[in-house]
């Protein structure tokens, strides 16, 4: 979630040898943990961070494709399916203090956990149309055969203006029963959120150097993983259930084609208000989001290229917690005009999604994301995304069954204007086509074409 806290401080970059070989399944003793990613699928797309007027829930969502992982929290363990989010840094779940009308499914009962320790830290999570009140406790978190000790866990006690609501782009909302009693656990994509961004973005602030707000940094600190990286494969876009995987501490070279290419993480920390302690907090005080320095976006079609220049403060943010991708409105209009022509697309007034004829799926055009490849050479890394890969069925389960489609990039949300950087959010409409390596040790992001896709790359 884009809780904008951008900071200016000094950075120490830890350069640690990077693991590049495919890792064996179940290699828990080698410091590598593999965790399946479950895809919850329906015909709608839910926007995690919403605009006023859109249908959004940060705790629950019953529409759209979400990528969740399963965690055991507390002793004895209480089970939760949490939304995988590289755009935030905290772990949080509903608590028993949340009314069942707002939190009707799994709720964490701290009185049942012998390892739970309360704290006096709390915060309000704000999003379009509502907010959640969260209080932190400390407990154990287990998954993939390992246990993370002293992990801060946010417990949501109040959820206002959200709760259980349908997705943002269903044009036939009257056909959906939105009563919580009509829903089951199988309808709920996620029951909490696991943030994997840098410590600086975490709401939880440690003071005794014994734990960090971000779970991945506690895994590094507790030497649960030997390499300070995690890699994400969201799986086959057409799969309905378990098809993806997150690997903590390693990379699986069987999940991508070609070579991994890297871009340095942008230093987006611009505030001196920073209270967390510990060596890992100090080492990454310049870094908040998994973002790279953006140069431009190029539209290529039939031999022609149109380059959309960006402000010098632009970044691409690679966020598994955002279902759609988000560009400034002017950029999207330029893309649509160049490829389709101004008369061949529209904007749905309810969802603000760009809608178009499904035949655009066959377009030969591509959208190029141009970013910094290396601080040393100032070379450009280009990710080439076929335009047709961003055309999705709106009113059917497939392109062939749909009478209208929508474009997988939406105009940037108003709350992003608070960010001093110009942010281009690369969400799951693009990320599910990529194999991603989030390299904490060398503060860089690795990209490759995920198997079964047709993304290409170039260096210049």
The average pLDDT across 241-256 equals 90
Q: Lowest mean pLDDT: which of 114-118, 199-203, 438-442, 450-454?
A: 199-203
pLDDT score at 192: 84
Is 348 inside a domain boundary? Answer: yes
Q: Which residue has the higher pLDDT, 12 or 358?
A: 358
What are the C-alpha distances in Å from 409 to residues 89, 313, 330, 332, 426?
24, 21, 12, 7, 9
Q: Which of 171, 199, 221 is the last residue of a domain?
A: 221
Give pLDDT tens digits for 140-164. 999 999 999 999 999 999 866 433 2
- Token duo for residue 406: 């929508």
**309 — pLDDT class (breaks 50, 70, 90):** confident
Do 58 and 153 have their domain in common?
A: yes
pLDDT score at 417: 42
What mean pLDDT, rounded, does the chain reach? 79
Is 6 inside a domain boundary? Answer: no
pLDDT(10) > 80: no
Residue 433 dihedral angles phi and psi, to the nearest 5°: -95, -5
What are the C-alpha distances in Å from 8 to residues 188, 200, 269, 272, 274?
39, 11, 5, 6, 9
Q: Lowest mean pLDDT: which of 109-118, 272-281, 316-325?
A: 272-281
Do 259 and 201 have their domain in common?
A: no
- Token duo for residue 428: 């799951």
**Count of domains for the chain:** 2
Is 414 inside a domain boundary? Answer: yes
Q: Which of 221, 239, 268 is the last residue of a domain?
A: 221
The average pLDDT across 83-109 equals 89
Q: Which of 190, 221, 252 is the last residue of a domain?
A: 221
Is 24 inside a domain boundary? Answer: no
- What is the DSSP code string of 364-423? --EEEEEEE--TTT--EEEEEEEGGGGEEESSSSSTTT-S-EEESEEEPPGGGGGSSSEE
pLDDT score at 278: 80
Query: In which domain, by residue range, is 409 found?
Result: 231-459
Q: Residue 298: which CATH number? A: 2.40.70.10
Is 426 inside a domain boundary? Answer: yes
List, in order, residues 6 or more apart from 276 with CB less than 8 Å away. Answer: 199, 200, 202, 205, 206, 207, 212, 213
Do 193 and 245 have their domain in common?
A: no
**433 — pLDDT class (breaks 50, 70, 90):** very high
Is 342 inside a domain boundary? Answer: yes
**241 — pLDDT class (breaks 50, 70, 90):** low
- What is the DSSP code string of 312-371? TTEEEEE-TT-SSEEE-HHHHHHHHHHHT-TTSEEE-TTT--EEE-GGGGG---EEEEEE
What are the C-alpha distances in Å from 193 to residues 190, 215, 251?
7, 11, 23
What is the four-CA torsion angle of 396, 397, 402, 406, rounded to 10 degrees? 90
Do 235 and 215 have their domain in common?
A: no
Give pLDDT tens digits for 377-411. 889 999 999 999 999 998 877 888 888 999 999 99
Is 9 inside a domain boundary? Answer: no
Do 357 and 432 have their domain in common?
A: yes
Burial 141-151 (b: 16+ CB within 10 A, else e): bbbbebbbebb
Do 196 and 316 have their domain in common?
A: no
Do 158 and 293 have their domain in common?
A: no
Highest mean pLDDT among 6-20, 214-228, 307-321, 408-422: 214-228
Do 188 and 238 have their domain in common?
A: no
pLDDT score at 190: 66
Do 340 and 416 have their domain in common?
A: yes
pLDDT score at 39: 79
Is 319 inside a domain boundary? Answer: yes
Do 439 and 379 have their domain in common?
A: yes
Percent of residues, the chain, with pLDDT higher than 90: 53
Do 79 and 191 have their domain in common?
A: yes
**183 — pLDDT class (breaks 50, 70, 90):** very low
Do 274 and 157 have their domain in common?
A: no
Q: Are strands 325-327 and 409-411 parallel, antiparallel or unpaired?
A: parallel
- 452: helix, coil or strand? coil
């Amino acid at each position: 979630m884009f809780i904008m806290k951008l900071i200016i401080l000094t950075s120490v970059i830890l350069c640690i040898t990077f693991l590049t070989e495919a890792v064996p399944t179940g290699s828990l003793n080698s410091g590598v943990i593999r965790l399946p990613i479950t895809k919850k699928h329906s015909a709608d797309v839910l926007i995690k961070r919403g605009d006023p007027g859109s249908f959004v829930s940060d705790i629950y969502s019953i529409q759209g494709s979400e990528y969740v992982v399963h965690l055991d929290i507390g002793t004895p363990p209480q089970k939760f399916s949490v939304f995988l989010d590289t755009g935030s840094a905290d772990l949080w779940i509903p608590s028993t203090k949340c009314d069942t009308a707002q939190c009707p499914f799994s709720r964490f009962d701290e009185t049942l956990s012998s390892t739970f320790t309360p704290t006096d830290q709390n915060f309000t999570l704000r999003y379009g149309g509502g907010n959640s009140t969260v209080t932190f406790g400390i407990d154990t978190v287990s998954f993939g055969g390992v246990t993370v000790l002293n992990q801060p866990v946010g417990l949501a006690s109040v959820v206002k203006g959200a709760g259980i609501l349908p997705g943002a782009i269903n044009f036939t909302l009257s056909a959906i029963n939105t009563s919580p009693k009509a829903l089951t656990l199988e309808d709920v994509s996620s029951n909490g959120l696991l943030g994997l961004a840098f410590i600086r973005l975490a709401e939880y602030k440690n003071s005794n150097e014994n734990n960090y707000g971000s779970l991945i940094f506690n895994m590094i600190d507790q030497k649960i993983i030997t390499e300070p990286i995690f890699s994400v494969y969201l799986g086959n876009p057409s799969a309905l259930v378990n098809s993806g995987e997150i690997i903590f501490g390693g990379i699986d070279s069987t999940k991508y084609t070609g070579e991994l290419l890297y871009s340095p993480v942008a230093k987006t920390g611009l505030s001196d208000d920073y209270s967390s302690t510990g060596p890992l907090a100090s080492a990454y005080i310049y870094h908040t989001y998994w973002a790279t320095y953006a140069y431009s976006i190029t539209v290529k079609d039939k031999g022609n290229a149109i380059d959309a220049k960006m402000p010098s403060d632009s970044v691409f943010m690679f966020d598994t917690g955002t279902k759609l991708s988000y560009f400034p409105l002017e950029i999207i209009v330029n893309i649509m005009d160049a490829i389709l022509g101004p008369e061949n697309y529209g904007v749905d007034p309810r969802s603000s999604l760009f809608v178009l004829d499904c035949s655009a799926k066959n377009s030969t055009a591509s959208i190029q994301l141009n970013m910094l490849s290396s601080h040393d050479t100032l070379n450009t890394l280009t990710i080439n995304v076929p335009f047709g890969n961003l055309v999705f069925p709106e009113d059917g389960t497939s392109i062939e069954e749909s009478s209208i489609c929508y474009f997988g990039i939406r105009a940037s949300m108003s709350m992003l204007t608070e960010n001093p950087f110009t942010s281009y959010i690369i969400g799951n409409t693009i990320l599910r086509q990529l194999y991603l390596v989030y390299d904490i040790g060398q503060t860089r992001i690795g990209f490759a074409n995920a198997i079964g896709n047709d993304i290409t790359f170039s260096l210049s």
